[in-house]
Amino acid sequence: MADKLLEIKDLSISFGEGKNKNVAVKNANFDIYEGETFGLVGESGSGKTTIGRAILGLNNVESGKILFEGNQINKKLSKQEEENVIRNIQMIFQDPAASLNERATVDYIVSEGIKNFHLYKDEAEREEKVRDMIKEVGLLPEHLSRYPHEFSGGQRQRIGIARALIMEPKLVVADEPISALDVSIRAQVLNLMKKIQKEKNLTYLMIAHDLSVVRFIADRVAVIHHGVIVEMAETEELFNNPLHPYTKSLLSAVPIPDPQMERSKKLITYDQNHDYENDKPSFREITPGHFVWCNDTEESNLKK
């Protein structure tokens, strides 16, 4: 089995204080292994992006640990440790328009990271690295002198991917990387990400709300609801044998291409009013590799 690249242990994140305190993530636990794509799925406001931003140090953590290559990174880091994290964990943002500097050329945007970390010997090598990367994401060298507003949404997202991957990171946090794109462009970007992952042995944390996207690209999936990870399993296991009622509810809402089947399907409504007063839930392994947030009674029913 591959080594653990990232470990999330009992992670809790809150915003605000006192009466205004809002718990965004509660006791999240999962591992991501080298070379895999780990999907984190949930509706808007579920806490999935909050976790992704915490991994990059953009959100403060209330409690718990984030370990990268066995070293805790959600603490005061030395300059060398901080640089190691920045170089080896990169992010592809959700909105390709908002995440690119409109006043900078593509050449500057893609080069900025390697300039900051001096990842080239001379100007000729820098230019070669940038040209190779821009071609790898399906753009042309002549695009380097242009500005982001001159490109389509799909092309801008390719620039964002190039900016992240030119750093040669070990982990890429992809925050809804195709949600702002036209349907016709989405498959191109996903296929591009899979191709580059295979070539460079990249590890992805794929944050998404679209289950069809996650099924296409992820090896394992965690489902998050109101800041709590309620189920986690290998992708096909989770889709073929969902155990938590919230996961079943999400899967029932996935559109079916066949109009007749779409009209006749039954939506499952998730009733979250559970009485956990005397029987507290926790994250439990129901079958090998398949974890569910449940209490003793629910665990017993699931194992029948």
Q: For 73-92, how does the pLDDT look when each residue is reduced to its tens digit (9 = 90+)? A: 999 999 999 999 999 999 99
Whether the full predicted model's pTM is greater than 0.85, yes or no, is yes
Confidence of residue 276 (pLDDT cuts 50, 70, 90): confident
Residue ranges and CATH numbers for the domains of the chain are 4-241 (3.40.50.300)
Report the chain's mean pLDDT, rounded to a whole number: 90
**CA angle, 30 then 33 then 37, to 5°:** 90
Residue scoring higher pLDDT (188 or 265): 188
Q: What CA–CA distance (Å, rounded) separates 194 from 186? A: 12
Report whether 269 contacts 286 (CB < 8 A).
Answer: no
Close Cβ partners of 69 (under 8 Å, ≥ 6 residues apart): 5, 170
Confidence of residue 68 (pLDDT cuts 50, 70, 90): very high
Q: What is the mean pLDDT of residues 148-177?
A: 92
pLDDT score at 153: 86
- Residue 185 falls in which region: left (phi positive, over 0), alpha (psi -120 to 50) or beta: alpha
Q: What is the mean pLDDT of residues 170-181?
A: 88
pLDDT score at 258: 65
Task: Convert the pLDDT of each residue in 238-275 to its tens digit.
Answer: 999 999 999 998 888 776 766 776 677 777 777 766 66
Tokens read off for 66? 């984030």
Task: Convert the pLDDT of each residue in 21-50 to its tens digit.
Answer: 898 999 999 999 999 999 999 988 899 999
